[in-house]
């Protein structure tokens, strides 16, 4: 069986401002790099065989900090691991969205990436990872909305529907019969 360890990227200035990031390429801020170092310290004490990352800067920077701590492991970039496209709301806060489109902005066509496309690209990527790394432990550094959707697809359970914290670790055991969530949204490295 293959183990996937999903890590959400460290915090960014836009996270702190409550701005929708989506496909916007926002870097980690200073605190984000500190968070990445803390999750890297935690993961260095565990056995991981390979690291995959979204190409977006905030995830890639987090993955590079982890890889360096783990003896300069290669980071394999895969664009299918990118964050969900946020359409017109990218770069805006909730208050700005309400001001621009009104309270009912969620009911408008905002150009979000369709759910079926997110699931298709994510499932395709994870299936390839599972096939290429059978029996291995694989870290996937990505984004909150993307990871949340993948976890829900792999282990459909309402317990795993909440938003993920920055640098949280979620571990999924991919098995032939039934996938199992071993750890969800864990941030013990931050306390």
What does the alpha-carbon distance between residue 135 and residue 146 come to, in Å, rounded to a whole number? Answer: 24
Catalytic, out of 9, 64, 90, 113 = 9
**Residue 65 burial by CB count (10 A; 0-12/13-18/19+): exposed, middle or buried?**
buried
**Residue 92 covered by a domain:** no
At 72 the pLDDT is: 81
**Residue 95 covered by a domain:** no
At 52 the pLDDT is: 98
Residues in the chain: 191
Scored b (16 or more CB within 10 A) or e, 89-98 reads bbebeeeebe
Identify the domain containing residue 50 by its residue range: 2-86+114-190
pLDDT per residue as tens, the chain (191 positions)? 899 999 999 999 999 999 999 999 999 999 999 999 999 999 998 999 999 999 999 999 999 999 999 988 999 999 999 999 999 999 999 999 999 999 999 999 999 999 999 999 999 999 999 999 999 999 999 999 999 999 999 999 999 999 999 999 999 999 888 999 999 999 999 99
**Residue 101 covered by a domain:** no
**Residue 18 covered by a domain:** yes
Tokens of 167: 């640098």
Q: Is 83 a catalytic residue?
A: yes
At 177 the pLDDT is: 87
**Residue 186 covered by a domain:** yes
**Residue 161 covered by a domain:** yes
Catalytic, out of 17, 30, 83, 113 = 83
CATH value at residue 26: 3.40.50.1240
What does the alpha-carbon distance between residue 80 and residue 150 come to, in Å, rounded to a whole number? Answer: 12
Q: Is the pTM of this model over 0.85?
A: yes
At 6 the pLDDT is: 98
**Residue 20 covered by a domain:** yes
**Residue 148 covered by a domain:** yes
H helices present in 70-178, as ranges: 94-101, 115-132, 144-154
Tokens of 28: 């980690």
At 24 the pLDDT is: 93
The CA–CA distances, whole Å, from 59 to 69, 79, 81 equal 16, 11, 9
Total domain count for the chain? 1
Best CA proximity match to 12, nearest among 27, 24, 34: 27
Q: Is 133 a catalytic residue?
A: no
Angle between helices 144-154 and 115-132 (to 10 degrees): 70
């Amino acid at each position: 069986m293959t183990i996937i360890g999903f890590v959400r990227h460290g915090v960014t200035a836009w996270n702190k401002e409550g701005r929708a990031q989506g496909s916007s390429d926002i870097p980690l801020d200073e605190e984000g790099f500190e968070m990445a170092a803390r999750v890297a310290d935690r993961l260095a004490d565990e056995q991981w065989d390979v690291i995959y990352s979204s190409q977006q800067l905030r995830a890639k920077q987090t993955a590079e900090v982890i890889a360096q701590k783990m003896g300069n492991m290669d980071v394999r970039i895969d664009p299918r691991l990118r964050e969900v496209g946020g359409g017109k709301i990218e770069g805006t806060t909730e208050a700005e969205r309400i001001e621009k489109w009104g309270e009912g902005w969620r009911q408008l066509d905002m150009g979000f990436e369709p759910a079926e496309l997110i699931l298709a690209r994510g499932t395709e990527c994870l299936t390839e990872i599972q096939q290429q790394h059978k029996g291995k432990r694989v870290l996937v550094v990505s984004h909150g909305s993307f990871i949340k959707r993948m976890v829900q697809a792999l282990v459909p359970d309402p317990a795993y529907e909440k938003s993920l914290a920055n640098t949280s670790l979620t571990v999924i055991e991919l098995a032939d019969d039934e996938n199992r969530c071993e750890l969800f949204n864990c941030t013990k490295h931050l306390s």
